[in-house]
Structure 1
Amino acid sequence: MHHPWLASLPLLFAASAAPAQSLPAMLPTPVAGVSLTADSEARWVDFTLTPGNQLRFTMLVNGSPAAAILDTGVSFSVASQRFVSAARLEVARAPAVRAEAIGGAVPISWVATRTLGFGGLQRSGGRFAVVDLKAVATGSAEPVEILVGSDILSCCALDIDFDASRFRLLPSGRLPFQGATAPLSVGPRSKVFISEVTIGDKTLRPLIVDTGDGSSLTLSRAAWALSGANPQAVTTAVAFGLGGQIETELAILPSARLGTQPLSNVEVRIEGKGGFSDLTRTSGRIGSGLLQRYRVLLDPRAGRMVTAPGKAVDQQPVRSTSGLLIGYDNGRLRVLHVMRGGPAAATGWRAGDQICTVDGAPIPPINAGGSVDTGWSAGTPGRTVELGLCNGTQRRLTLRQFY
């Protein structure tokens, strides 16, 4: 089970410190060196969802396999420092550059590639930004090596079939299925996929459409205020971006709209003033936590996003009933954040507390998906969980719904 409120936020950034160029809103410039094979429509790429809700798959870089994340929220595709070292790629000597990232600015360098490919897409030449990619960004113990960004993906139409855990690249203009539509473009400054969401009678734009973001919907403080939303309760959460940890507020909206697609029970994160949305001059992000309810076609060259309901369209958001946001740490569970208004906050829990047993049982090992079972933290309200701290003390936590 994926827990969007436990997921890390994306490793996305707008890698341009220079003034934005004036680009057509609905027609990005051609993607140099990128082409599709004649049979690209038949070349589906299988993916797995990480515990952080990102789409993980295998691609080829210079003929060698690499673990990758499909990330339309990255303006330039990224290679990890570890991958670059292991593949013995030569980092370009250039002046130091810093990029805007969730959690703060980060240093980047550049490396040239000969070829890359996945599905029916092939690229000759080109380059990756080189960044220190940490495993925490996918919510699992397994790091990734590549983030495939909009500099590559804007070439084509991206058809994501979440129910079948596969995607493919198609020539722009293809419409492989019918569904609701929303506008889609490439942002002139951020260079990433851009759309909009309507809450009540307020349409919020621009929003980054970010397959690398495991959350559902993230809004800036200003966009949240403009929406006029008034949920029953608002709590807090933390997430991790390339620049470090951030704290957001968290609420559930009963309804919204993505173009002509009605949305229900949408989990919303609200970023503080001066957060990543403010830095990128956007109203927020639409993440894979929301997109995975649908089959999705992203075609910025045609100016549209198409969504058709999938099996999970009516799925309720997973809500914490413990008020603890936790991460796996060498056989222990470490408290990353205590959510405002939750049962843990009322019983003295603190960030940094370490849990060694749950109901008398030791913490299970990480499973094949790279995560550990923490389903008890979103368990049935009224259940009491016995938690053994690693310092030898015992605590009882009675679960309840609080947002």
Structure 2
Amino acid sequence: MLSFLLPLALAASPVSAPADEPRDGIVLAPDSEARWIAFDLTPSNQIRFEAVLNGRPVRAILDTGLTNTLATRDFATRARLALGRSQRALAIGGGVEVAWAPGGTLVMGGLTRRGGRIAVPDAPGQDRFGADLLIGSDILSCCALDIDYAARRFRILPSGRMPFTGQTAPLALQRGSEVPVTEIRLAGARLRPMIVDTGDGAAITLSHAAWTSAGYRGATLTTTLGWGIGGALVSEAAVIQGFALGGTLLSETEVRIEGEGGYSASAGAAGRIGTGLLLRYRVLLDPRAGRMVLQPGLAPPPVLRSTSGLLLGAEGTHLRVLHVMRGSPAAETGWHEGDTICTADGTPVAGRPIEWSAGVPGRVVALGLCDGTERRLTLRKFY
């Protein structure tokens, strides 16, 4: 679990395109299969790579959970994209206003798209993208995606190719949104549709209704903080066993549970499968062929859990408390959102890893607040 170090930079945030959106002209080069695209993972697990838009290099994120490719407003200004009419759009963290710009010519690996449109949101969450463009399913649903997380590369293939074998799960394009969806099982309950969302850094997120229908027993729930295009949102979280995907039982997995009326329910989905789970595998996403193939990679490490309950953001010389997890040592000792920390065990926190926040249970950390006071926090496992 990474959110105690950084808030989830963005989860998927599909929007609806106008009914008169022009047909995209998407072409795959004959050698597309040989054109691997290198990527790095952002601190929040998004796949970030370099594409070319209208002849200029751009930082892009591969986001299968988006219905339409999206550009930040800052990039739209720098690239002089011509913004047209706006509409209200559904997004994680709240609804947003989205303007539409001509898509121009986008090149990524062996794929070229000419035409189409790009959505430009007027929303606070875009400050956390770490990229200029989010490439959505309006482009990606044309083809198959082969994502090799271990080698940090992906490629775009014609649908129907089978470059490797592994566990297979059904995959389709959700009617209306055209995002890829599959199904998952929990405690014997079949949960579907589950959006396969490479733009979501979490492992598994469920709607409140899906979690309730599974009837899972024995989970210790806490709270966590995430970010969508619409802003920050708090959800419940637990670390559990019992999920099955493609007929295979998953190891211990973090699940986030949205409140009633959350994004997944509004999008007609039971939840989302994100990169936090997918990066355990080499993944083939081919919705037009009806399949997702998962080839196990390295053994997944144990889920990293907070033992402090403090979700923190770095701000220059100090750390700011963004959220205090329910039932945690921090919650029980009077910590509050907005508290600022300048030292940990007498050492300035600026530029240093926050390893103590998930330290060994029983460890006592002396935290120096920026107002000159000190608090001692005893770490423990609480979920």
TM-score bucket (shorter structure): over 0.9
Are the equivalent residues in 2 in contact too, given 1:31–1:154 (CA < 8 A)? no
1:375 counterpart = 2:355:
yes
Check 1:243–1:269 CA distance in 2 against 1; reply closer, same or farther (3 A cut).
same
Q: Which residue of structure 1 aligns with residue 374 of structure 2?
A: 394
Are the equivalent residues in 1 in contact too, given 2:42–2:48 (CA < 8 A)? yes
Give, in whole Å, the separation in 2 of the partners of 1:316 and 1:346: 26
Give, in whole Å, the separation in 1 of the partners of 2:65 and 2:128: 14
Q: Which residue of structure 1 aligns with residue 209 of structure 2?
A: 222
Q: Deviations over 1:268-302 (max 9, x none)?
A: 00000011012112111100000001110000110
1:2-21 counterparts in 2 under 5 A? 3-4=2-3, 6-8=6-8, 10-16=10-16
Are the equivalent residues in 1 in contact too, given 2:206–2:264 (CA < 8 A)? yes
Q: Which residue of structure 2 aligns with residue 51 of structure 1?
A: 43
Q: Deviations over 1:162-206 (max 9, x none)?
A: 101111101101111100111111111332111111012111001
Question: Aligned partner of 2:255: which letter?
Answer: V
Deviation at 1:341, TM superposition (A): 1.0
Q: Deviations over 1:16-40 (max 9, x none)?
A: 2889xxxxxxxxxx97311111111
Are the equivalent residues in 2 in contact too, given 1:7–1:214 (CA < 8 A)? no
Check 1:17–1:74 CA distance in 2 against 1; reply closer, same or farther (3 A cut).
closer
1:3-402 counterparts in 2 under 5 A? 3-4=2-3, 6-8=6-8, 10-16=10-16, 32-92=24-84, 94=85, 96-132=86-122, 134=125, 137-138=128-129, 143-311=130-298, 313-365=299-351, 373-402=353-382
Give, in whole Å, the separation in 1 of the partners of 2:27 and 2:318: 46
TM-score when normalising by structure 2: 0.95
SS state at 1:38 partner: coil
Q: Which residue of structure 2 aligns with residue 24 of structure 1?
A: none
Q: Percent identity?
A: 53
SS state at 1:231 partner: coil
Deviation at 1:242, TM superposition (A): 1.0
Deviation at 1:330, TM superposition (A): 2.7
Segments of 4+ moved more than 2 angstroms: 4-7, 9-14, 16-19, 132-138
SS state at 1:239 partner: strand
Are the equivalent residues in 2 in contact too, given 1:69–1:146 (CA < 8 A)? yes
Give, in whole Å, the separation in 1 of the partners of 2:242 and 2:2: 20
Give, in whole Å, the separation in 2 of the partners of 1:254 and 1:67: 36
TM-score when normalising by structure 1: 0.90
SS state at 2:250 partner: strand
Are the equivalent residues in 2 in contact too, given 1:103–1:242 (CA < 8 A)? yes
Give, in whole Å, the separation in 1 of the partners of 2:375 and 2:237: 26
Question: Aligned partner of 2:377: which letter?
Answer: L
Are the equivalent residues in 1 in contact too, given 2:264–2:271 (CA < 8 A)? yes
In the alignment of these two chains, the number of paired residues is 380
Check 1:99–1:135 CA distance in 2 against 1; reply closer, same or farther (3 A cut).
closer
Deviation at 1:303, TM superposition (A): 0.9
Give, in whole Å, the separation in 2 of the partners of 1:117 and 1:282: 31
Q: Deviations over 1:135-166 (max 9, x none)?
A: 6645xxxx311000011000111010010111
Give, in whole Å, the separation in 2 of the partners of 1:230 and 1:344: 26
SS state at 1:101 partner: coil
Question: Aligned partner of 1:107: which letter?
Answer: E
Give, in whole Å, the separation in 1 of the partners of 2:155 and 2:355: 32
Check 1:83–1:65 CA distance in 2 against 1; reply closer, same or farther (3 A cut).
same
Are the equivalent residues in 2 in contact too, given 1:4–1:318 (CA < 8 A)? no
Q: Which moved more, 1:113-122 or 1:263-272?
A: 113-122
Check 1:76–1:164 CA distance in 2 against 1; reply closer, same or farther (3 A cut).
same
Q: Deviations over 1:64-102 (max 9, x none)?
A: 01111110010000011111111112112x2x3010011
Unaligned runs of 5+ in 2: none
Unaligned runs of 5+ in 1: 20-29, 366-371
Give, in whole Å, the separation in 1 of the partners of 2:215 and 2:11: 29
Deviation at 1:121, TM superposition (A): 1.0
